[in-house]
């Protein structure tokens, strides 16, 4: 059993710190899809990869891909990775930690004769911030990114425009596909919630990733004077949206395991003395069981319809994303549990309330995730943090997982 160099934990933390500096907004960590600072992140990691004897390329949608080839001819590939893009004003570990862990594990194993190749993936787009659709990066590996090329951002630029503008070629999407001989995909990620901290565990094995819907609701009424328009004559679009938002929170509070979030609200024309003639709000709704999520969504759309009608306001839904709940691979989970058990580490299983690239990769290969405790339960926030000893534990479990996998492949 190989033990990672104790200095590697600091290497991981330092790398996350360094990559946090490459932001498109001064004073915070914001790195949206194919923004210019992506190049600096790529350069930093490519330099590390080349020191590890890895070959690196950027694929058609901007994923960074570093390979450590096995000496065994036609060996299968194990993918290890996560995403390099962030939400606005993000923390330094969401996504980034999983990519850096990939390189750190290769550093630990350098020189070992593995019966499989390792490809570290730095996905270019998981959060969906710029185009409202998530997983552009990982979807390129499973062959479902093509249909996203025409999606436009608020400025009217399409994904295709962004790809070409960055100097990439959408015609090369086929070369971005994952190997037909994929052993599977392993993603390290911060938990981003309170579960592991409450359990007193540094690591957790993900059982499944919740299903989710992301959509925008658009309400259209009639703008008019805030002072002269009596209440009974109003067609207030924002009032209808507001009733919907309260209903979403009430239903989620009343439904075990359901979360519903309105993260964006817009009222037009957006003047204090004008009744909003138009209003839109986002909805992000998630649950471990798809039927519960579907029923809740249906109920909320009925509420939106009712509140709109009560004000002679029309309303429509603009769907952005629907992802089913995905269980993680049983064999890979067992290897993670076994590795943690051998190392005497607690290894609870938990559902991921956050979406991850693993749910996309699981559509084509065995996929598993190892969560690292979020001590303050904060994420999508600059105060995101990890404990050094939990990173050390994750490295030790990761190395043991790779050794066990080699034994199964080599068997």
Q: Could you tell me the smallest distance in angstroms from the CB atom of residue 134 to ligand HGY?
A: 6
For residue 172, count other CB atoms closer than 10 A to its CB: 13
Q: Whole-angstrom distance between the N-terminal and C-terminal Cα of the chain?
A: 17
Q: Could you tell me the smallest distance in angstroms from the CB atom of residue 355 to ligand HGY?
A: 4
Q: Could you tell me the smallest distance in angstroms from the CB atom of residue 86 to Mn ion?
A: 7
Among 59, 85, 94, 187, binds Mn ion (CB under 5 A): 94
Stretch that binds Mn ion, among 53-61, 93-101, 341-349, 358-366 (CB under 5 A): 93-101
Q: Please identify, using beta-carbon distances, which residue of 65 and 214 lies nearer to ligand HGY.
A: 214
Length of the chain: 411
Q: Please identify, using beta-carbon distances, which residue of 66 and 134 lies nearer to Mn ion.
A: 134
Partner from Mn ion, ligand HGY, none binding residue 357, C-beta < 5-8 Å depending on class: none
Partner from Mn ion, ligand HGY, none binding residue 365, C-beta < 5-8 Å depending on class: none
With binding defined as CB under 5 A, does residue 204 bind Mn ion? no
Q: Could you tell me the smallest distance in angstroms from the CB atom of residue 187 to Mn ion?
A: 9
Q: How far is CA 284 from the centre of its chain?
A: 14
Residues in Cβ contact with 146 at an 8 Å cutoff, skipping those fewer than 6 apart:
173
With binding defined as CB under 5 A, does residue 95 bind Mn ion? yes
Partner from Mn ion, ligand HGY, none binding residue 355, C-beta < 5-8 Å depending on class: ligand HGY
Q: Please identify, using beta-carbon distances, which residue of 296 and 354 lies nearer to ligand HGY.
A: 354
Q: Could you tell me the smallest distance in angstroms from the CB atom of residue 96 to Mn ion?
A: 9
Q: Please identify, using beta-carbon distances, which residue of 95 and 366 lies nearer to Mn ion.
A: 95
H or E stretch covering 280 = strand 278-287
Q: Which two tokens stand for residue 223?
A: 């703008």
Q: Could you tell me the smallest distance in angstroms from the CB atom of residue 371 to Mn ion?
A: 11
Q: If 0-12 CB within 10 Å is exposed, 13-18 middle and 19+ buried, where does residue 154 land? A: exposed
Q: Output the DSSP codes for 235-259.
A: B-HHHHHHHHHHHHHHHHHHSTT-E
Whole-number Cα distances in Å, 400 to 53, 71, 119, 244: 21, 20, 18, 49
Q: Please identify, using beta-carbon distances, which residue of 82 and 404 lies nearer to Mn ion.
A: 82
Number of residues interacting with Mn ion: please give it, by CB under 5 A. Answer: 2
Give yes or no for a cis peptide into 269 (omega within 30° of 0): yes
Q: Which two tokens stand for residue 333?
A: 């989970």
From the list 29, 6, 16, 214, the residue with the least C-alpha distance to 122 is 16
Q: Could you tell me the smallest distance in angstroms from the CB atom of residue 356 to ligand HGY?
A: 7
Query: SS3 for 77?
Result: strand
d(CA 230, CA 357): 51
Q: Please identify, using beta-carbon distances, which residue of 126 and 384 lies nearer to ligand HGY.
A: 126
Q: Please identify, using beta-carbon distances, which residue of 48 and 131 lies nearer to ligand HGY.
A: 131
Partner from Mn ion, ligand HGY, none binding residue 137, C-beta < 5-8 Å depending on class: none
Strand 278-287 versus strand 211-220 pairing type: antiparallel
Q: Where on the chain is the footprint of ligand HGY (CB under 6 A)?
A: 126-127, 134, 354-355
**Residues near Mn ion, by CB under 5 A:** 94-95
């Amino acid at each position: 059993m190989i033990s990672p160099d104790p200095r590697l934990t600091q290497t991981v933390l330092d790398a996350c710190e360094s990559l946090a500096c490459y932001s498109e907004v001064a004073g915070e960590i914001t790195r949206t899809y194919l923004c210019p600072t992506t190049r600096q992140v790529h350069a930093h990691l490519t330099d590390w990869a080349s020191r590890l004897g890895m070959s690196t390329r950027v694929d058609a949608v901007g994923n960074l891909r570093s390979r450590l080839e096995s000496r065994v001819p036609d060996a299968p590939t194990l993918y290890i990775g996560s995403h390099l893009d962030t939400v606005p004003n993000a923390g330094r570990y969401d996504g980034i930690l999983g990519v850096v862990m990939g390189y750190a594990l290769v550093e630990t194993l350098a020189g070992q004769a593995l019966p499989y190749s390792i490809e570290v993936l730095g996905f270019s787009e998981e959060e969906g911030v710029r185009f409202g659709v998530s997983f552009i990066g990982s979807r390129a590996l499973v062959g479902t990114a093509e249909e996203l090329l025409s999606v436009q951002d608020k400025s009217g630029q399409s994904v295709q425009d962004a790809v070409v503008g960055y100097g990439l070629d959408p015609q090369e999407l086929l070369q971005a596909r994952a190997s037909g001989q994929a052993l599977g995909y392993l993603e390290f990620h911060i938990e981003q919630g309170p579960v592991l901290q409450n359990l007193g565990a540094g690591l957790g094995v993900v059982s499944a990733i919740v299903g989710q819907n992301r959509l925008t609701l658009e309400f259209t009424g009639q703008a008019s004077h805030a002072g002269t328009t009596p209440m009974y004559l109003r067609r207030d679009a924002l009032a209808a949206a507001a009733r919907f938002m309260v209903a979403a929170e009430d239903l989620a509070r009343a439904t075990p395991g359901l979360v519903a979030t309105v993260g964006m609200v817009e009222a037009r024309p957006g003047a204090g003395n004008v009744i909003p003639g138009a209003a839109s709000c986002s909805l992000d709704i998630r649950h471990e069981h798809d039927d519960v999520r579907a029923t809740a969504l249906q109920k909320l759309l009925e509420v939106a319809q009712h509140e709109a009608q009560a004000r002679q306001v029309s309303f429509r839904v603009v769907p952005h994303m629907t992802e089913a709940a995905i269980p993680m691979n049983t064999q890979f989970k067992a290897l993670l549990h076994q590795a943690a058990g051998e190392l005497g580490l607690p290894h609870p299983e938990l559902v991921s309330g956050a979406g991850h690239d693993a749910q996309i990769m699981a559509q084509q290969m065995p996929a598993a995730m190892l969560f690292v405790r979020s001590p303050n339960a904060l994420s999508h926030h600059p105060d995101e943090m990890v404990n050094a000893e939990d990173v050390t534990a994750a490295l030790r479990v990761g190395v043991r997982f790779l050794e066990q996998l080699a034994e199964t492949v080599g068997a």
